[in-house]
Structure 1
Amino acid sequence: MKESNLPPKNFYGIGREALYPQEQLLDIKDNNKRFSIGIPKENHNTETRIPLTPQGIGLLVDNGHEVFIESGAGKAANFKDTDFSEVGAFITETRSEVFTKDIVIKVTLPTEDEIGMMKERGILFSTLNLLGMDITMVKRIMDKKLTAIALDLLLDENGAFPIVRSLSEIEGNLSITLASQHLSTIHGGKGVLLGGVTGISPTEVVILGAGTAGTFAAKTALGMGAVVKVFDYSIAKLRELEHNLGQRIFTSNLHPSVLSKSLKSADVVIGTLRFLYGSRRFMVTEELIRLMKPGTVIVDLSVDQGGCFETSKCTTLKSPMFEDHGVKHICLPGLSVLVPRTASIAFSNVISPILLDMGERGGIMEHIKSDNGFCNGVYIYQGILTNHYIGQLYNIPSKDIGLLLAAF
């Protein structure tokens, strides 16, 4: 039967067009969450880095987030206000404004005044320096019911700390460069070239710690022609260091007699051993410092965690070096502050993808549940302490974050 001969309506009085497939608009739910993000100017006297670069902020703005930056926040890292505004960030002269956003991102821990300016139940990203923290600060964050994330405790998919690793690579390289400068007479050194040339005995570099910073310090020193000796508690780490270097060098466990002999002949000593979160403690005693050659250069990369040397004390950008017992000490906390642009890019490369993922998953709770590496960095969740080490340190009750999230 031809279509033209079909009756206009069927038996039930329904038109032919009602029998054809019909289009229907479905309501597609957008789970993406857009955040307002505040980046204040760092007010610590040794901090020059910024947590997000213009490139990282551009990615966030393109994905619907709003970013507010205090004017001059990137100046020390050689980023202009216009670099940020050109990618869509809002520049504000009012310091308090950046602290009222959903997320506040700093490199260093906030002060009590800065915590007071934050909105209740806001989100704080910063590094966690326990030597710079006290119980009053912890309780202030808890009273505000903030969710606080430690950038240096975040884990990647391989179980490594991406922020710590990137900064350790930078500081390992930089420690050798600085030591080389301070061996020269232009910086009051004894006039020795770090490395070696034909017919002249090479300088000796002793490195305490075979982690990331130690490995990159060793690479740089070997590349300059120095004799390198590396000490560590762990034979496995020493073996991995040699594998990464691709050559045999002098390595040793931390035997006092062997270390003492090496320190007496060293021209440069790099301390990279870290003692955070209950790990073993090691310190080169003042007596050993006295036995070192005059003009030897010490670079202590763990001075902000107590230091590798008994004579270490934190220095500032204005005066990063001091001399004790004829030995030059470079003890600037977070040595990467001397190359803030490079360090800021390292921060941004880690933080901006996390913020994008957090938005796409619908918020911080969903991101914590979905990403174990991110969850590891959360030390306070909505005012509840979730880091057991901090709880033990300040005698504050803490809760397991997994059990805590199950209740929300």
Structure 2
Amino acid sequence: MGKQRDGFEKATESYFQFHPQEVMEGPVNKKGNPIKIGIPKELNPDEKRCALRPGAVSLLVNNGCEVFVETNTGRHINHSDTEYADAGATIVYSHKEAMEADIVLKISAPTIEEISYMKQNKAIISAIHMRELKRDVLDTINKKKITALGFELIEDNVGGLPLVRAMSEIAGSTVMLIAAEYLSSYNGGKGIILGGITGVPPSKVVILGAGTVAEYAARTAIGMGAEVKVFDNAIYKLRRLKKELGLPHLFTSAFDSTSLTEALSRADIAIGAVHTHGTRTPSIVTEEMVAVMRENSIIIDVCIDQGGCFETSEPTNHRHPVYKKHGVIHYCVPNVASRVSRTATAAISNIFTTILNKLIDEGSVDTMMRRHPWFTKGVYAYRGNITNQALAEKFDLPLKNLDLILAAGI
């Protein structure tokens, strides 16, 4: 494989040596002009995070970029327009101006209106929200030949998902604090404490999945004194989790319906933390299994942005975060990390800054894609083509091989 990739890279580099104009076309300015980066204010009222902090803006400006920040973008993370301006950003007073940059950085998935503001052949990096993405948004992206990347799909150079991991760490820690709120009598809960006290049995937590969200949720729950059970079909993940937590006797199990149903019937809290890369999360807990859970117990489905792993899960938002079904409280907010927007922004900003500095070094988005496959994994639309298999299948659209497109210079 290594030799084949080397040969492929040599072929593509040779092609672009003879087609220099095509290398420089696309979502960046021609060489010699600074790359313009746009940071629009989020239109989603439930999204409080921001793509870049003022410190990151300063680094990018010093590296030769022009950064355009829409006014009041940082209001939810306690950063003023003055701080962004002092960092070297140009403050713009309309959404359209921020969206007209060479590269747009957002948190929420773009709307049709936002895409309509963008210029032809530019680039946008944002969330995809696979479950909620509409066909007309995708059609508008392709019509304008925009290069669109989902930040949750961008890998690092060892195959990890840096932004997903960072948000998962935050979400895992945060969900147990949310659960504690909804256990309280004043929120319609069971009126019990998360954990336990001397002489009183601890609360029982069931976690589905053994990845990053599960690790941080389990760490928080155990630290508060709760009894935790973790389910996952990947035995190596369960083994790793026990090692990471330093708890060789932690209860772990595969997704056996009998064992899982029994655990859920006794649980005070159930956390859905199953992550699938680029596809819909399978429904692991059936409605019948939810029906056996105790009255006013809590389900928090962290993977709702990928479809959710509870059959009874439906997306909610921070303004109306919960609903009841079969007497069970369901919390199914997709962007849990937005509750702690300043912390989440710091993590996102660090990752975006690393990616953008590398992109600046390469000179264009096209060159970045040809030389760094980990970055290319995030591309779901390129110059009118769908390059993500899950999206192609969802909308019954032809899937194009991005490597071949780049090699051909289409």
TM-score when normalising by structure 1: 0.89
Aligned to 1:16: none
Point out the more displaced range, 330-339 or 316-325.
316-325
**2:315 is matched by which residue type in structure 1?**
C
- Residue 396 of structure 1 and its aligned partner are, at CA, apart by 2.0
Aligned to 1:400: 401
Aligned to 1:244: 244
Aligned to 1:193: 193
- Residue 355 of structure 1 and its aligned partner are, at CA, apart by 0.9
- Residue 392 of structure 1 and its aligned partner are, at CA, apart by 2.4
CA contact (8 A) 2:279 2:306 kept: no
**2:121 is matched by which residue type in structure 1?**
R
Give the gaps of 5 or more residues in structure 2: 1-29
Return the alpha-carbon distance in structure 2 between the equivalents of residues 195 and 106 of structure 1.
38
CA contact (8 A) 1:31 1:360 kept: no
Return the alpha-carbon distance in structure 2 between the equivalents of residues 352 and 96 of structure 1.
23
Aligned to 1:17: none
Per-residue CA deviations over 1:161-196 (Å, capped at 9, x if unaligned) read: 001010011101111111112112232322211112
Q: 1:310 to 1:282 in 2, by over 3 A?
A: closer
Return the alpha-carbon distance in structure 2 between the equivalents of residues 318 and 139 of structure 1.
30
**1:367 is matched by which residue type in structure 2?**
M
Matches within 5 A, 1:73-112: 73-112=73-112
CA contact (8 A) 1:57 1:67 kept: yes
- What CA RMSD, in Å, does the superposition of the two structures yield over aligned residues? 1.8
Aligned to 1:127: 127
CA contact (8 A) 1:34 1:359 kept: no
Moved over 3 A (4+): 30-33, 274-280
Return the alpha-carbon distance in structure 1 between the equivalents of residues 284 and 356 of structure 2.
39
Point out the more displaced range, 200-209 or 69-78.
69-78
Q: 1:33 to 1:176 in 2, by over 3 A?
A: farther
CA contact (8 A) 2:146 2:383 kept: yes
CA contact (8 A) 2:231 2:253 kept: yes
Aligned length: 379
Q: 1:48 to 1:264 in 2, by over 3 A?
A: same
Give the gaps of 5 or more residues in structure 1: 1-29
Aligned to 1:369: 370
Matches within 5 A, 1:45-84: 45-84=45-84
User: Equivalent residue of 1:294, what SS?
Assistant: coil
Return the alpha-carbon distance in structure 1 between the equivalents of residues 276 and 245 of structure 2.
25
Matches within 5 A, 1:74-223: 74-223=74-223
TM-score when normalising by structure 2: 0.88
Higher Rg of the two aligned structures? 1
Q: 1:272 to 1:281 in 2, by over 3 A?
A: same
**1:81 is matched by which residue type in structure 2?**
D
Aligned to 2:327: 326
User: Equivalent residue of 1:107, what SS?
Assistant: coil
Return the alpha-carbon distance in structure 1 between the equivalents of residues 64 and 325 of structure 2.
54
Aligned to 2:4: none
Per-residue CA deviations over 1:83-121 (Å, capped at 9, x if unaligned) read: 211101111112211111111111111111111110111
Q: Does 1:259 align with 2:237?
A: no
Matches within 5 A, 1:228-307: 228-248=228-248, 249-275=250-276, 277-278=278-279, 281-307=282-308
Return the alpha-carbon distance in structure 1 between the equivalents of residues 139 and 382 of structure 2.
13
Identity %: 40
CA contact (8 A) 1:37 1:68 kept: yes
User: Equivalent residue of 1:207, what SS?
Assistant: strand
Per-residue CA deviations over 1:185-211 (Å, capped at 9, x if unaligned) read: 232322211112222211111001111
Q: 1:33 to 1:132 in 2, by over 3 A?
A: farther
